[in-house]
Amino acid sequence: MLKLFLLASIYIFAVSQNDKAQIASIQFKVIQNGDSDRRYIWLHGDEQTARMALENHMKRYKGKAFLVQGILRESEFFGGIIDPNRIFSSDGAQANIQKYNPKWTQRKKSESLLAINKDRKSFFESIFPPNGELLVALHNNYKGYNIYKELSRSDANSIKKDQNPRDFFICTNRSDYEILSRSPFNVVLQEKPPNKDDGSLSWAANRNEIRYVNIETRLGWLSQQKKMLNFIEKNL
Closest to Zn ion by CB, 176 vs 216, is 216
CA angle 120, 137, 51 (to 5 degrees): 110
Span from 42-50, 109-117, 156-164, 170-178 in contact with Zn ion (CB under 5 A) = 42-50
User: Where are the strands (E) in the chain, listed by range?
Assistant: 20-23, 26-33, 39-42, 63-68, 75-77, 80-82, 134-141, 156-158, 168-171, 186-189, 211-218
Span from 10-18, 24-32, 41-49, 204-212 in contact with Zn ion (CB under 5 A) = 41-49
Closest to Zn ion by CB, 181 vs 228, is 228
Which of the residues 125 through 154 are near Zn ion (CB under 5 A)? 139
CB of 69 to Zn ion, least distance (A): 15
Closest to Zn ion by CB, 167 vs 181, is 167
CB of 47 to Zn ion, least distance (A): 5
CB of 9 to Zn ion, least distance (A): 39
**Site size toward Zn ion, by CB under 5 A:** 2
Q: How far apart are CA 165 and CA 145, in angstroms?
A: 9
CB count in 10 Å sphere of residue 185: 21
Closest to Zn ion by CB, 55 vs 178, is 55
Closest to Zn ion by CB, 116 vs 215, is 215
CB of 68 to Zn ion, least distance (A): 10
Closest to Zn ion by CB, 139 vs 218, is 139
Q: Which residues of 102-132 are buried (b: 16+ CB within 10 A; e: fewer)?
A: eebeeeebeebbebbbebbeebbebbbbeee
Question: Is 44 an interacting residue with respect to Zn ion (CB under 5 A)?
Answer: yes
Quickly list DSSP for 1-47. -HHHHHHHHHHHHHHHTT-EEEETTEEEEEEEETT-S-EEEE--TT-
Q: How far apart are CA 147 and CA 214, in angstroms?
A: 12
- Contact (Cβ atoms closer than 8 angstroms) between residue 55 and residue 96: no
Span from 40-48, 76-84, 151-159, 213-221 in contact with Zn ion (CB under 5 A) = 40-48
CB of 145 to Zn ion, least distance (A): 10
Closest to Zn ion by CB, 83 vs 176, is 83
Span from 8-16, 20-28, 44-52, 180-188 in contact with Zn ion (CB under 5 A) = 44-52
Q: How far apart are CA 138 and CA 229, in angstroms?
A: 9
CB count in 10 Å sphere of residue 233: 15
CB of 161 to Zn ion, least distance (A): 26
Binding site for Zn ion (CB under 5 A): 44, 139
